[in-house]
Amino acid sequence: MQIDIKQPVLAKNDRLAEELRQLFAEKHVYALDLLASPGAGKTSTILATIDALRDEFNIAVIEGDIASNVDAKKISAQGIPAVQINTGGACHLESSMLKKAVEALDLDRLDLIIIENVGNLVCPTDFDLGENAKVMILSVPEGDDKPLKYPGIFQVSQAVILNKIDTLPVFDFEVERFEEALNQLNPTAPLFKISATSGLGVDEWASWLAEKIRSC
């Protein structure tokens, strides 16, 4: 006899995710789920995105980490509402966790919620959070072979960010090889090449996101 515990867990998660999706639609809030490995630059990308969009949109951030509130403090220091989720060891966020975090926010005053998922290239792909889009961040130091090693996360992403492009001269990262692999897995996802810390390429990424927010 084989017992599949994954399906009941995902079914419950999907029910709550649909409730969140309907809530976001009702409030005209765009929910962005950022996926990446640890060190890819999720928080620095969020801060750069905030700087680019804060004059037009009201933004909040939900931070997912196994432990600590370091990143949430960085966001709050910029005057942006931030809610910390500590998963206590879980390698991803689930819709039940997100629902509790959303309850701490005033959705009537928001246009965009950025969700920083737990740093992981596998687990978060299976869990719907009711988001409008999942966006994958890969950094140059991680290598151009990641689409081949972790195809699932690239396939579920509505857009892909290649971060830390200012480090290309010092790493063995072949952009063309990366783009070819990405196009095979997800030909419709736009690729944004940025350096979150210097601001290079951030405007193009922010413009894409702004259009999505305006249309939600």
Residue 175 lies in a domain: yes
Residue 107 within any structural domain of the chain: yes
Determine the average pLDDT of the residues in 4-17: 76
User: What's the total number of domains in the chain?
Assistant: 1
Find out whether 113 and 60 touch, Cβ atoms under 8 Å.
Answer: yes
Domain that holds residue 137: 6-215
The CA–CA distances, whole Å, from 111 to 26, 27, 79, 130 equal 12, 8, 15, 15
Indicate the pTM of the whole model.
0.92
pLDDT of amino acid 55? 98
Give whole-number Cα distances, 182 to 152, 166, 167, 179, 195, in Å.
11, 20, 20, 5, 19
Question: In this structure, what CATH number is given to the domain that contains residue 197?
Answer: 3.40.50.300
Any domain includes 1 = no
Q: Which residue carries 């971060």 as its tokens? A: 163
183-210 per-position pLDDT tens digit: 999 999 999 999 999 999 999 999 999 9
Q: Which two tokens stand for residue 68?
A: 């600590």
